[in-house]
Chain A
Amino acid sequence: MKLQTLKSIIEKKKNKSEFAIITNLKTGESEIFEKDRPLSKEMQIYSNQINEFFKSKKNGVIENSEIFVETYILPIKVIVIGAVHIAQYLVDYAKSLNFEISIIDPRGYFASEQRFPDIKIINKWPDEAFKEIDTNENSALIALTHDPKIDDPALQHALNKKFYYIGALGSKKTHENRCQRLKKAGFSDEQINLIHGPIGIKLGGRSAPEIALSIIAQLVSETYKK
C-alpha cells in the first residue's frame, strides 16, 4: 500500500466518512472507493461486486478474482446524558471501540472540557442539544443523571427516533417511576420496554469504572444484535 493511500484512509476515518479499500492482491495496488466516486479503469469491471460488499458492509475477496474489499463504516453515535463520574470511564472504554461519544449536560460545572478533553460536550438542555446532533435508528443513548428533568426529555427523543440502544441509570424503583412518567407522556408499554433499566449487564460491581464497564458491555452486545 502506498503511504499516500494509508494517510488518506486515516484522514477519512477521522472525518467519519464511509468508504472501502480495494486492493489488487496480484500487484499490491490499492485504491479508495466511495459512493459516487468513479473507480479506476482496471477496477471498473468489478464495480457491481464492490458495491455489494460496500452495501452489506462486508470484507472479503471478490469471487474468482484477486480483488480484496475492506469496508469502513461510520462510527456509532452514542449520546451520554450527564457528564458524571461514570461518563468519564465510559469515554475511556469507548476510545478502544468505534463509538463516537457526545455528552449532553446543561450543568456547566459537570460538563467541563477539563473533565472531558477531546469529547463533544453540549452544555444545553436535551431538547436544545439534540438540534445539534443528527440522530437515527443507528444511534444509542445512555442516560446517567437519574434526574427526570434532564433524562426524561432525552429518553423521549431517543424513543421517538427509534435509537437501537437506550439505557437509563437508576434503581429498579427509579426506573419504575420513570416508566410511569413516560406512560403518562403517551409512550406505549412496548416502547418503554425497549429501555434498558436499570442499565448495564449484571457484573456485581458498584464502582464507577465497573458500572461503566457493564454499560459498555451491554452496548456492544446490543450493537451486534442490530
Chain B
Amino acid sequence: MKNSFDEKILEEANDWVTANQKVVLATVIQTWGSSPRQVGSRMIVNEKGDFSGSVSGGCVESAVVRECISLIKDNKPCKKIEFKVSNESAWEVGLACGGEIAVYLEQVS
C-alpha cells in the first residue's frame, strides 16, 4: 500500500499561490538503492527559498531549494535533477545512505 499517509503539501502550495507567491513543486519520481523518502514524496519552494515538505531526510533539500529558485528566475516550466553519491558536490548534498534519487521540479503556473 502506498501513499496512504498524505501530507497536505499540495494544499499548502495552493495557499502560497493564493498569497501571490511563485511556487515550485519538487517531487521524488525515481529512487535507486536505499533512499530516505519514497517515490511521490514532495516539497514546495517559493521564490524567496522558503520551503515545506521534504524529498530526502534533509540530505539534498538545500540543493533542491537552489535549483527551484533558479527555475523561477529563468522562468522555466520544469526540470529533472538527480542526486547520487558520486555527485560532484557530494560533500555537501550527497545522499549519505548511498542511494540515488531523481527529483522533478515544476512551476505552478
The chain A residues found within 8 Å of chain B, CB to CB, are 1-3, 6-7, 9-10, 13, 23, 25, 27-28, 30, 57-61, 68, 70-73, 75-76, 96-98, 220, 223-224, 226
Report yes or no: B109 in contact with A3, Cβ–Cβ below 8 A. Answer: yes
Inter-chain pairs besides A3-B108, A96-B7, 19 sampled, C-beta below 8 Å:
A1-B25, A1-B108, A2-B108, A3-B17, A6-B14, A10-B11, A10-B14, A23-B104, A25-B80, A28-B107, A30-B106, A59-B38, A61-B29, A72-B6, A73-B2, A73-B4, A97-B6, A98-B6, A224-B1
CB-CB contacts below 8 Å: B57-78 with A: 77-78
The chain B residues found within 8 Å of chain A, CB to CB, are 1-7, 10-11, 13-14, 17, 25, 27, 29-30, 38-40, 77-78, 80, 104, 106-109
Chain A contacts for B27, CB-based, 8 A: 68, 70
Contact pick for A28, options B7, B13, B17, B77, CB 8 Å: B77
Report yes or no: A57 in contact with B1, Cβ–Cβ below 8 A. Answer: yes
Which residue of chain B lies nearest to A2 when distances are taken between CB atoms in the complex? B109
For the complex of A and B, 5 pairs with smallest distance between CB atoms: A28-B78, A59-B40, A28-B77, A98-B6, A59-B39
Report yes or no: B4 in contact with A98, Cβ–Cβ below 8 A. Answer: yes
Chain A contacts for B6, CB-based, 8 A: 13, 72, 75, 97-98
Contact pick for B106, options A9, A28, A70, A71, CB 8 Å: A28
Report yes or no: A59 in contact with B3, Cβ–Cβ below 8 A. Answer: yes
Q: How far is the CB of B32 from chain A (nearest CB, A)?
A: 12
The 24 sampled A-B contact pairs (Cβ below 8 Å) are A3-B108, A6-B10, A6-B108, A7-B14, A10-B10, A10-B11, A10-B14, A25-B78, A28-B77, A28-B107, A57-B1, A57-B2, A58-B2, A59-B2, A59-B38, A68-B104, A70-B3, A72-B3, A72-B6, A96-B7, A97-B5, A98-B6, A223-B1, A224-B1
Chain A contacts for B4, CB-based, 8 A: 73, 75-76, 98, 223
Chain A-chain B contacts (Cβ-Cβ < 8 Å), number? 80
Chain A contacts for B40, CB-based, 8 A: 59, 70
